[in-house]
Amino acid sequence: MAYDGELVKMANGRWARFQRCQVHRPGVQDAGETMLLIAVELDDRYQQLLDEVADSLAQYRHQGIPVQARLDEEAQRVTLLAGEASSAVH
């Protein structure tokens, strides 16, 4: 099950983020609030950034170092968190 904001690499090798979208049904007054969770493909700048991050994560994990990645949209960067150390990919 996916969650809102989750990043996924699709079968075609491109990255997407799950996003919650409200569905409007014209002519149906009692439809209530219908929400869908859809995968929205990211633009090319983020595709390259996430591919580089995935390669870095694989290298850390191959060495047995647990690491996490955090996407900071406002700063438009990804931060890798390995143990106590961190590095930013711009």
Which residue is it, tokens 């995968």? 39
Q: Where are the domains of the chain?
A: 1-42, 43-90
Query: What 3-state DSSP class applies to 21?
Result: strand
18-72 pLDDT, tens per residue? 999 887 777 777 666 778 889 999 999 889 988 988 898 888 889 988 888 777 7
- Please state the rounded mean pLDDT for residues 70-84: 70
Which residue is it, tokens 């647990």? 66
Its pTM stands at: 0.64
Give the C-alpha separation, 47 to 78, whole Å: 12
pLDDT of residue 70: 76
